[in-house]
Chains A and B, each alone.
Chain A
Amino acid sequence: MKTDHGIRIPDLTNDEYFFGHKACGGCGGSLAVRLSLKVLGPRTFAVLPAGCMSAVGFIFPQMAFAINAMISTFPGTASMLSGIAAGAKALGLKDYAVVGFAGDGGTADIGLQALSGAIDRNDRIIYICYDNEAYMNTGIQKSGLTPLGARTTTTPAGSKGTGSRTVKKNMFEIVAAHGISYAATASVGFIPDLLRKVNKAKQTTGTSYIHVFAPCPTGWEYEPSATLQISRLAVASGLWYLAEYENDGFSLNHDPGEFIPLRDYLSAQGRFKHLGEDEINVIERNRDEKWKKIRRDWKHEERTSQWQFG
């Protein structure tokens, strides 16, 4: 029988491995880290590069991780993970996980080379990207994962500017193109799905990568209480999707069917407020082209029925 790797919320440990940090209220990234560590457990080595989670979690003498954890250089998340994995193996350690939590800039921009190297070696590491779609820690500058049209402090919206002029790099398919052992997209708005994917990564003997959509109220300009709602609107509008890659094949975990109007997602955030009809039409066209390919090429395994959120 095929293992499902699903984790029921009531079975999740009450132990906390990331607490007492200084993240903003409603931070999607810190939620991804906290929940992932509940699945990975106490015998985990974590690496966090320069970015929000290291900035809020490691201010001497207040250490927010209850597991072994360390800040890496900005480009060095994956390489440091590889070193930890190699060291732990050489020392004969047993029963442990090696996980990295890097932001979108640390993953898709400055950390991409080291990530590619680790996947190439198929080192047994779990790389989790918490994607808040800009360099939030330094003050909301554009990254390679900032979506088209989003206003950041380096892609302002004004008479000449319409926010970011580039689309998000497709990190999920970039890592899949390496033939990685396991890759997935996830979202903090779909917690049972995220937990199952982290658990699956934990069991994977090679490299695994999980790309978690992690809204940022500070940078996206919405009320901190709306993080989960924004996450779900992103999926319902088709601007984010939940999928997996393994054994040389892609599978979609949830098809929202008819998308909600893009405005419902975009208008809920200050960073898209300046967009006019023309710009929204471009975003919509891009989305539709992507979904045409997803629906045509990827296996569809609807998992919504297993998700118990209320």
Chain B
Amino acid sequence: MQQRLFLSGNEAIALGVKLSRPHVIAAYPITPQTVAVERLAEMMQSGDLDAEYLHVESEHSALSAMMGASAVGARTFTATSSQGLIYMAECLHYASGGRFPIVMMNANRALALPWSIYGDQRDSLSLLDCGWIQVYAEDAQESLDLVIQAYRIAEDKRVLTPVMINLDGFVLTHTYEPVLVPDQVEVDSFLPSYDNPYAMNLDNPKNVGFSSTPQDTMEFKYQQHAAMLDAKDIIREVDAAFGTCLGRRYGGLVSNYWTEDADCILITLGSIAGTVRTVVDELRDHGFRAGLCRIRYMRPFPEDEIAELARPGRAIGVLEKDISFGFEGTVFTNVNSALMKAGMQVPVLNFIAGLGGRSISRGDIREAFTDLEKARTGESVRNVRFVNLGVAT
């Protein structure tokens, strides 16, 4: 029986974690992640959650502790954001290389300098190559559901890779929405208890997290890559199983909206997809065939799903809260690579928006679709455009 509660993204994450029965939680506070770890601490105080809670002295230690706990076979959770995430950078690579199925929430927030506590996605996107599965939630419901799914994906023996669940800072972490919260029995039926045959064991000691030489390192790295590629099918399986057990499906690696007959498709990540969807509806009302592709998983990258979007006579845009300085948005680079490999030549445009928490309005999104229509019909349009920029370009 699912209970309908009014929750913020952070609170939805905390409830999702509680329902996943973690053994060890470590946390170091950073805005706007704090509410998630505060709620977990409260649940422990009230006796609703039975786990070990480590008050660590840094994010680096948070993830280092999670690796230790995971190495002995414990289910673990931590949460961070922005500066904290990049402070963890060493441990991010370490955790994926060690194949520790840790689940972590990241509240997407701008990176200093200048200091900014507001949201954009430069923190996680700058760490796309750290070997973690990266998923971006759109709303509080998906945030809760993703935690439960993430443990099943990460701990799958074909995957054994950590998962980073990204929530837009403030816009999602602090916005309250009605959320259906499953009961423990339902979650238990979906999420098996953690059983890792590779964990350290007092009766059968193991040396893990070792060194390797040029003779073997490539093979370890290939296996890591292969597991991430295999995770695509497991993500789809888990999405379907979640639908069966708990009644909600999200579409696997991407979630498409009116893409089938669209002339112009906007690709984006995270909570801004909701606004894009309303603009697609408006434009459709006016006879403009717009569509939305929300990338849920940036790693593993939904290469096939992106390639399938390309058709002759169609234009594709990428709207992202990110810039790789001196080039273009990172999502755009990834999308272009997928299209190019599939031999698809369609007009593609990149819209850089929302850096440092700047609002992205429906008007901004309408303009993006206008640009796409121009590009589609052969007009010259700037390839990479900063949306709503207050300085001359």
Residues in chain A within 8 A of chain B (CB atoms): 42-43, 45, 47, 54-55, 58-61, 63-73, 75-76, 78-91, 93, 96, 113-114, 116-117, 120-121, 123
Contacts and interface: CB of A to CB of B under 8 A. Distances in A.
Contacts of B379: none
Interface in B36-86: 51-52, 54-58, 60-62, 64-74, 76
B346 interface: no
B189 interface: no
A87 B209 contact: no
Contact of B52 (A54, A71, A86): A86
A230 to B, nearest CB: 29
B202 A96 contact: yes
A63 B200 contact: no
A90 B64 CA distance: 17
Given A59-B212, A71-B211, A76-B60, A42 B68 contact: no
Contacts of A55: 211
B26 A83 contact: yes
A46 to B, nearest CB: 9
Given A87-B70, A93-B202, A113 B26 contact: no
A113 B57 contact: yes
Contacts of A87: 23-24, 52, 68-74, 76
Contacts of B208: 68-70
A257 B5 CA distance: 73
A76 B74 contact: no
A37 to B, nearest CB: 11
A61 B220 CA distance: 12
A76 B69 contact: no
Nearest to B210: A58
B190 interface: no
For the complex of A and B, list the 4 residue pairs with the smallest distance between their C-beta atoms, beginning with the closest.
A83-B68, A83-B65, A87-B69, A117-B57
Interface string B213-237: 1001000000000000000000000
B68 A82 contact: yes
B201 A68 contact: yes
28 contacts: A45-B200, A58-B207, A58-B210, A63-B210, A65-B205, A68-B201, A68-B205, A70-B71, A73-B64, A76-B60, A79-B64, A79-B68, A80-B67, A82-B56, A83-B65, A83-B69, A84-B68, A86-B54, A87-B24, A87-B72, A88-B72, A90-B23, A90-B74, A91-B23, A91-B72, A113-B58, A114-B61, A123-B54
A67 B55 CA distance: 28
A91 B76 CA distance: 12
Contact of B66 (A68, A83, A90): A83
B24 A90 contact: yes
A83 B24 contact: yes
Contacts of B66: 83
B258 interface: no
A59 B211 contact: yes
A72 B211 contact: no
Given A83-B26, A83-B65, A60 B216 contact: yes
B206 interface: yes
Nearest to B71: A70
A80 B68 contact: yes
B304 interface: no
Contacts of B65: 79-80, 82-83, 86
Interface of B is mostly: mixed
Contact of B61 (A61, A63, A76, A89): A76
| Interface size range on B against A | 35 or more
B209 A72 contact: yes
- Among B60, B76, B207, B212, the one with the most A-chain Cβ atoms within 10 Å of its Cβ is B207
B213 A66 contact: no
B213 A86 contact: no
A65 B207 CA distance: 7
B204 to A, nearest CB: 9
A68 B71 CA distance: 10
A23 B65 CA distance: 28
B188 interface: no
Contacts of A63: 207, 210
Nearest to A84: B68
A90 B209 CA distance: 22
Contacts of A123: 54
Max chain B C-beta neighbours (<10 A), residue from A43, A64, A68, A79: A79
B94 interface: yes
A60 B217 CA distance: 9
Contacts of B76: 83, 87
A43 B202 contact: yes
B279 interface: no
Contacts of A65: 205, 207
B91 interface: yes
B182 to A, nearest CB: 23
A288 B94 CA distance: 45
A45 B201 CA distance: 9
B129 interface: no
Given A79-B68, A83-B70, A89-B52, 5 more contacts: A60-B211, A80-B64, A83-B66, A86-B74, A91-B23
A91 B75 CA distance: 10
A90 B51 contact: yes
Contacts of A61: 216
A182 B24 CA distance: 25
A71 B212 CA distance: 12
Nearest to B22: A90
B58 A117 contact: yes
B52 A70 contact: no
Contacts of B54: 82-83, 86, 121, 123
A75 B67 contact: no
B367 interface: no
Nearest to A71: B209
A114 B24 contact: no
A72 B64 contact: yes
B90 interface: yes
A58 B206 CA distance: 11
Name the residue among A43, A75, A96, A120 with the largest chain B CB count within 10 angstroms: A75
Given A76-B91, A82-B68, A114 B210 contact: no
Interface string B74-108: 10100000000000001100100000000000000
Interface in B91-146: 91, 94
B358 to A, nearest CB: 35
